[in-house]
Structure 1
Amino acid sequence: MAGFQYAYQKIVDLKSSEKTQAEWLLSTAVGKLQTEEMSLNQYFQERASWSERLHVASSTAVTLSELMVMQQYIEYVDTCIQTKQMDVKHAQRHVDDSRVVLTDKMMDEKVWQKSKERALGRFRSIMQTKEQNELDEMATVRFAAAAR
């Protein structure tokens, strides 16, 4: 008997491949988001550290120029924090977009897999019918031969 060959198997394979690529893209986007968040947290830690230094320095004998340099550096870190927050938002949007793409690819793949499963079911039904007809014919031939 012939084996089942789905006529659209290449499309099923393509949809599976597209889903895998979408998973990789999502994984990459999540990694980028995590990197951006870690960087942002480092800026927050650095700002807290410098704020503490400024607070301690303001209560000790430190020149005004040193205090101004510390304050300017804190303002620079604040600017970096704002920029990094925008980067984090952009990375989050990219993750969200990647999730939507992955969801679409998964639905596409599922549709084609279901189509393949239905075709396989039809194939099996046809094969069972053929086998049953062959068995019925063999039984009829035997019965006719025994009746002679």
Structure 2
Amino acid sequence: MKFHYPLQKIVDLKGSEKSMAEWEYAASLGKLKAEEETLASLTRDLEQMAQALSEQTKRPTSLFEIQRMQEYIGWLEQRIRHQREGVRKAKEAARLRQRKLADRTVDEKVWLNARDRAKELFVQQALANEQNTLDEMAVMRAAASARR
């Protein structure tokens, strides 16, 4: 007799939900990495521009050029603030996806354990039935040989 778990579709569903949560978590980590790389790039650009402004002020330079560089630095600083907010949101999204994955993993494990317990019970009952059948056969043989 083969084991058939009547709630196997639920176990499969929980496995699918866990896989989906894994994909979502991986995607959120990828987005976080991209946001952090963009922030690092903007920070490098700001440092380079500040260095260039510093060097430019040591030489004779027009006021317009210095103002243009300062405006660009201001724009970079604004973008960095905005990008930090993007990084913060991406970190929060990654944390949420991680919690969701942990919940889905626990949920799947609960259903897998329930299925395993049902299978163990099935195997025990099958063994008990087999033993009862063997015992009954032994009793029948003993009774048949006692009649002879």
Query: For the superposition of Structure 1 and Structure 2, which TM-score range results when normalised by the shorter chain?
Result: over 0.9
What does residue 92 of structure 1 align with? 91
Give the match's secondary structure for 1:4. coil
Residue 61 (str. 1) matches residue 60 (str. 2): yes
Q: How many Å separate the matches in 2 of 1:46 and 1:146?
A: 99
What does residue 82 of structure 2 align with? 83
**One-letter amino acid of the structure 2 residue matched with residue 49 of structure 1:** Q
| Partner deviation per Cα, 1:92-147 (whole Å, 9 max, x = no partner) | 01001101111111111111111101101110110010010111112122222333
Alpha-carbon offset, residue 38 of structure 1:
0.2
Alpha-carbon offset, residue 46 of structure 1:
0.3
Residue 44 (str. 1) matches residue 43 (str. 2): yes
Q: How many Å separate the matches in 1 of 2:52 and 2:6?
A: 71
Q: How many Å separate the matches in 1 of 2:50 and 2:43?
A: 10
Any residues of structure 2 matched to 1:1-148 within 5 Å, and which? 2-147=1-146, 148=148
Q: How many Å separate the matches in 2 of 1:69 and 1:118?
A: 72
Q: How many Å separate the matches in 1 of 2:61 and 2:141?
A: 113
Q: How many Å separate the matches in 1 of 2:130 and 2:39?
A: 68
Number of matched pairs:
147
**One-letter amino acid of the structure 2 residue matched with residue 18 of structure 1:** E
Percent identity over paired residues? 37
Structure 1: unaligned runs, 5 residues or longer: none
Q: How many Å separate the matches in 2 of 1:75 and 1:60?
A: 22
TM-score normalised by L of structure 1: 0.97
RMSD value, Cα: 0.8
**One-letter amino acid of the structure 2 residue matched with residue 24 of structure 1:** W
| Partner deviation per Cα, 1:21-47 (whole Å, 9 max, x = no partner) | 000000000000000000000000000
